[in-house]
Structure 1
């Protein structure tokens, strides 16, 4: 006998089911549970396709490709591969992944926003930061900036109107660095003509060998006969005999084929003549002499390397007692405690220098803060140049109306977007 309230509910809410047998209700319950399982499975499938959508969008952004490539090429190609190599069900699952150009654009914007948020959070936690600049006019909180690396242009480093001078008006303690890549380029411009000629000839010979398939095969064969690695042609000086033999064989082959001699190729004939006349020692002497001059030129552009580097030995080698005196006096006690910790010694051997000092920060905050302050400056504006290169890849004639900020951030950032967090804010849509 059913309770009165259940009987009343059945008659008022489900009058068509009044008088049905128990088997009827058992079957309905089974159907309801089956529908629930189906919805749960569909929800899981949609969650997987959502994750795949983010991951593909990230790959497209990293590759600096147009957003349309997912719908036009990636998805159809992946479906064909899945159907051919697996089965039709796998191909249908791939086709369910949302990869339209608008969807990919939204994904990239969301990931760029998350990367920016992560950087902002890190800056708030760190309290100070270093920055690379190249023709920047952005407004930042310069009071938190500890180091600036620029290309040395007057607009950046001018004493009165340069950017660094203006920053010092807000933050007098800021340290400015001239990009080492630009300084190397300035020093190399004064290379002597003799040294430049020797290096140019060597490069031309190497390019001649590597740029033609037949030449590469012949040189590879010569290296195999002597047990040398032909892939290291640019890196080893012991390739003289192989290169000389190769050039002689090339000269004979060209003459035999009635194709003239190697004088058709830039300076190769004179290079062979130099080698056959045993001028190898003279060339090396020339190189050494002019390298000495070049070294002096580099020292004029890097005057403070030897003077300042010993003062930071305690950061590079914190477990060497001879380096402890280079640390600030107030940090000696903490550094002694750190150097006697076997756990940190093991961590030092397994991680990078920056990672090691980040691990030290929890137990020795003052010591780590000082070390990380000296580790955070950038040595070059390399990342700026990488961003400019990414810009030329992304903003093509066909994409000249594209809003570039989010695309560039996702393309060049080393910080990975938190996909699980982004997905949690998205409602999973179940296909009908």
Structure 2
């Protein structure tokens, strides 16, 4: 009807419709992989956001932070094992998409597994040996470390207790006996004047 009145009029599809027609030319496998990876990214970013919020909690301390980071390291390792076994239940959005598709996504599985391994490696790089120093272990469980120390130095403590049985305080003898620093007796003797006899 418009062309009858004006033959120079051009008709075109709407831009949105043309974009939809263009998108249909993408391979279905590629489109599915992109959506699966987007679903995974939503899940992993949600999880990392929860970790971030926990670390920002005003009542937390270094011990709590270390435990939270260590827990996430173990989570990433567990999730990686599950993904390799094609168990996507730890990622609800991805799980829902794959459940609807009813297909096994080997390429997606490999990409996610590699990314989880990378996250684990990065945590280990930025937080080396989280639980291996004595001060952290002492703060977490002071009784276990004290017992280990006592067993290690039990004989020394027994000798000092016998030697100073009549005295209540054995701290000075215990400190010198258990110290890892060796005394320099020669230097001490040089600095002390001899007492001449009267």
TM-score (norm 2): 0.30
TM-score (norm 1): 0.16
